[in-house]
Structure 1
Amino acid sequence: MGSLIKNNGHISDTVNNMGPYRALRGRVNNLGYSSNERLMTYLELVGFGSTTLIQTFNLRYDLISVLVERWRPKTHTFCFPCGECTVTLMDVALQLGLSIDGSAVTGVSTIAELAALCYSLLGVSPNYAESKFTSLRFSWPKVYFEHLSINATEHEVMCAGRAYIMHIIGVVLILDGNNNRVYLMSLPLLADLQNVRLYSLGFAVLAILCHELCRTTKPDAIDKGGYLILL
């Protein structure tokens, strides 16, 4: 394995030197609540119809840890004695139905008027205890949007749709180490739902997964983010 990777500081060095076995922890969250049927119009509009079918899996983190030992950051491929392979954009497109063409997905490090942004796009603002800079508590969207009133206006349904899409992005597709919070960096992209398909969200999902694979090749890494079901 060392001859395949050839990278000092890689977890494979520890394995080759008979160091202690390391099993990574997964940072996997499920959505916590199901989408309302009235949201499907907006979920289909932005290309998230297939992602609503995502199920929670009991992932084998021991096997994922072994894959990380075979990951070569320089080429973004898994190195095996029989050859190399990797997760591709086509895998993302086929499994998630997300766009892999279009504008790059970028976020902002800070949002100046968090409360105003939430009120404008979600119809409700978090209080100080629920918000922290550019993130919300994991439970916040569920509390406010899980039960949609039968008398909800079209604007309220649209706000609930934005919250659900933001939830999918933050706790499933582009998951980082902050398990109990949902980042709001993606919320400005949802201002005009008709433009969401113009962004390459599938590329962002794959980029985060590769970034997490590279990060967890360090021997001191203990947990792993990204959309692990792709592995």
Structure 2
Amino acid sequence: MNAAALTALVDRWRPETHTFHLRAGEMTPTLQDVSMILGLPIQGEPLCMNTASDGWRRQMEDLIGMAPPMREDPKERTPAGAPFLWIRTNFGTFPQGANRDTIKTYTRVYLWYMISRTLFADSGGKLAHWCWLKALTVLEHPWSWGTAALAYLYRQLDEACRRLGRDRWMVLCV
């Protein structure tokens, strides 16, 4: 990732209107942009689910047969998801002669890995949040992934602006 380019975009993001304020004027990423640029479907059911992390480890074991090991220090906060290294270590090599269920599991994990690294990346860049795996429980379901990606983009940009805690956007637009 180009940190300077991302910072420049965050500096020009206006959370109140979900627009970038550029020298040429305002620009708003739309669903049609997401569909054309990323090739994601914008038709279908909205991707709405409970993202509470209670019991995520057990649910992950139910979905893919295993979960990352628990932290040694029980007081240390455990993120609700799997490190990318853990995913690559445990699912990086597809077993020969796999049955249909194993194929589905590896497909689900691969998709989870890919969307967690590209569309729904966390701020640290090291973790696949478990809620995206949960969305892949039914691979054939017609979710509107484009809508989810655009909403996630808006939320991440809004949070980045709040974290920086600045109101200097007007200076950049002049």
Smaller-chain TM-score bracket: 0.7 to 0.9
1:135 aligns to what? Answer: 81
1:11 aligns to what? Answer: none
Quote how far apart the aligned CAs of 1:109 are: 1.4
Tell me if structure 2 keeps the 8 A contact 1:103–1:200: yes
**3-state DSSP class of the match of 1:79?**
strand
1:151 aligns to what? Answer: 97
Q: What is the aligned counterpart of 2:33 among 73, 79, 91? A: 91
Tell me if structure 2 keeps the 8 A contact 1:114–1:133: no
Distance in 2 between residues matched to 1:219 and 1:176, nearest whole Å: 15
2:11 aligns to what? Answer: 69
Q: What is the aligned counterpart of 1:101 among 43, 63, 67? A: 43
Residues 101-154 of structure 1 show CA distances to partners (whole Å, capped at 9, x for unaligned) of 222223421242623x23332133433249936212221111111111222112
Measured at CA, do residues 134 and 83 of structure 1 come closer, stay the same or move farther in structure 2, by a change above 3 Å?
same
**3-state DSSP class of the match of 1:78?**
strand
Quote how far apart the aligned CAs of 1:219 are: 6.8
1:110 aligns to what? Answer: 53
Distance in 2 between residues matched to 1:113 and 1:208, nearest whole Å: 21
**3-state DSSP class of the match of 1:132?**
coil
1:188 aligns to what? Answer: 134
Residues 73-128 of structure 1 show CA distances to partners (whole Å, capped at 9, x for unaligned) of 2211112343211222122112222121222223421242623x233321334332
CA RMSD of aligned residues (A): 2.5
1:215 aligns to what? Answer: 159
Segments of 5+ residues of structure 2 without an aligned counterpart are 166-174
What is the TM-score with the length of structure 2 in the denominator? 0.78
User: What percent identity do the matched residue pairs reach?
Assistant: 28
Residues 129-186 of structure 1 show CA distances to partners (whole Å, capped at 9, x for unaligned) of 4993621222111111111122211211110011111112222211122432221112
Tell me if structure 2 keeps the 8 A contact 1:123–1:156: no
Segments of 5+ residues of structure 1 without an aligned counterpart are 1-57, 222-231
Using the TM superposition, name which of 123-132 and 209-218 deviates more: 123-132
Residues 42-65 of structure 1 show CA distances to partners (whole Å, capped at 9, x for unaligned) of xxxxxxxxxxxxxxxx53x32332
**3-state DSSP class of the match of 1:175?**
coil
Quote how far apart the aligned CAs of 1:187 are: 2.1
1:159-198 alignment runs, 5 A limit: 159-195=105-141, 198=142
